[in-house]
Amino acid sequence: MERIVNKRINEECYRIKHKSGCTIMLYPMKGFSTAYALFGTRYGSVDTTFKTAKDEDYVTVPEGIAHYLEHKLFENEDCDAFALYAATGASANAFTSFDKTAYLFSCADKLEENLEILLGFVQKPYFTDETVAKEQGIIGQEIRMYEDAPDWRVFFNCLQGMYEKNPVRIDIAGTVESISHIDKYLLYRCYNTFYNLNNMVLAVAGNLDVDKVLAVCDKMLIASEDPQLSVKVPEESDRVYKRRMIQELPCATPLFNIGFKLPAKEGSECYRDYILYNLMGEICLGKTSDFYNRMYESNLINNNFYVRAFNGRGFFGLMAEGESADPDKVYEEILKEFAKLKKEGISRDDFDTIRNKTYGEIVGMFGGVESVASNLLEFELAGAQPYDLVDFIADITFEDVVNALKNFDEENSTISIIKNKI
């Protein structure tokens, strides 16, 4: 058992490499009455081409299969996992993102019993031709619903402008066409590859007893041989694929996403850049900036304008998003603002204010069981350390942000616009 301490915020957690192959992250939180647990795998929508040591070559599976698999795991031959949680009073859910899938619950008591449910059904897949066919209709309806959602489409259209080949450009649920090729054999193949415990992390935070949690893990986790998994990501140009993406959908005000493509990093480096570019974006365009005030007073943007770093395994960028009657004008002004600030410089006072605010927000995340457990899972799956964000925001300098802005290529960007369908 490895004890991980951060003296800056006087917090500690535990990392255990279990004999089964699973990594366990535990974060006891004194004074809390609830607990939150996630059981996750390093498997998301971008992982469509892969191989193991036993495979002669890479295999490519249909887009959306990770999300499909998440839906199906809650049902097994015996019962529905949600029914088991209902009996304990726990609240359960699951999600699939670009680079991970996780199953979770929160509870006020019976933590060990709920952990047994979680570790039990996730390790017990059960797929039949009938249940797989039934799910295709359900997920197909979900895909069609999101196809008509302006805020969803403006985001994915932006990704499709930024990336030509990277699977991040494809909707996490896939397409109606792609999921039509999924059968039980493909589901079992993907499950046996990515749900190997050597590729998985259990994260628990809150009111917990470390020894009792580990006893449940010893009982429930089934040892597995490391498959030596390798995922192939298509080679991608450093430049954006398309500068402009426009779609017509019913909306009161046009929506826009502006994506600035940046080099993807791995592990802790990814989160260092996440902090760096979030700060840079907030200083240049955020709600306390001169830019934001000018655009707001000119009625070019409203309070739904945000700028944020967007990161994950194999992709990274800065995004500005919002609503405007004239998105192209906003885009033009953003490019001008970056070019101007490169020449004139940014304010050290602005840097200090935003860094201190961000530091407070990051430290504040350690005050909730859900955010603590979620961060434990995310960072461990990404190959980063639990307190990276705290250390990076504390150590970052004004000169770091100045250099990032100096080397920032604002022209390497895409604008996605959803305008009202007439």
Tell me if 251 sits within 8 A of 419, measured CB to CB. Answer: yes
State the Cα angle at 262 between 256 and 264, rounded to 5°.
120
**Distance of alpha carbon 338 from its chain centroid, rounded?**
27
Query: Pairing between strand 91-96 and 101-107?
Result: antiparallel
Tell me if 146 sits within 8 A of 176, measured CB to CB. Answer: no
State the Cα angle at 372 between 279 and 355, rounded to 5°.
20
The pLDDT of residue 149 is 94
DSSP 171-185: -TT--HHHHTT--HH
Map out the domains of the chain with their CATH numbers. 2-231 (3.30.830.10), 244-420 (3.30.830.10)
The pLDDT of residue 60 is 95
Provide φ and ψ at 378, rounded to 5°: -60, -50
Residues pairing with 16 in the sheet: 24
Q: How far apart are the C-alpha atoms of 350 and 220, rounded to whole Å?
A: 51
Tell me if 81 sits within 8 A of 92, measured CB to CB. Answer: yes
DSSP 187-202: HHHHHHHHSSGGGEEE
Q: How far apart are the C-alpha atoms of 36 and 327, rounded to whole Å?
A: 41
Contacts of 367 (CB under 8 A, 6+ apart): none
Tell me if 354 sits within 8 A of 288, measured CB to CB. Answer: yes
Contacts of 159 (CB under 8 A, 6+ apart): 168, 169, 259
Q: How far apart are the C-alpha atoms of 400 and 279, rounded to whole Å?
A: 10
Q: Which residues are catalytic?
A: 70
Question: Three-state secondary structure along 199-225?
Answer: HEEEEEEECCCHHHHHHHHHHHCCCCC
**Distance of alpha carbon 110 from its chain centroid, rounded?**
29
Blockwise average pLDDT, block size 10, the chain, 422 residues:
95 97 97 97 96 93 95 82 92 96 97 97 92 88 91 97 95 94 95 96 97 98 92 93 96 96 95 97 97 97 96 95 97 98 97 97 96 97 96 97 97 97 74
Alpha helices in 345-387 (DSSP H): 348-364, 369-382
- Sheet with 200-206, strands from edge to edge, namely 2-6, 11-17, 23-28, 200-206, 35-41, 101-107, 91-96
Contacts of 304 (CB under 8 A, 6+ apart): 322, 323
Joined together, the tokens standing for residue 380 give 């461990």
Q: How far apart are the C-alpha atoms of 17 and 106, rounded to whole Å?
A: 23
The pLDDT of residue 15 is 98
Provide φ and ψ at 412, rounded to 5°: -85, 70
Nearest to 380 by CA among 38, 34, 66: 38
Joined together, the tokens standing for residue 229 give 């998994």
Tell me if 254 sits within 8 A of 324, measured CB to CB. Answer: yes
The pLDDT of residue 131 is 87
Nearest to 116 by CA among 212, 1, 259, 244: 212
Provide φ and ψ at 168, rounded to 5°: -60, -20
The pLDDT of residue 421 is 79
The pLDDT of residue 326 is 97
Tell me if 197 sits within 8 A of 40, measured CB to CB. Answer: no
Amino acid identity for residue 119 in this structure? L
Tell me if 155 sits within 8 A of 417, measured CB to CB. Answer: no
Tell me if 121 sits within 8 A of 102, measured CB to CB. Answer: no
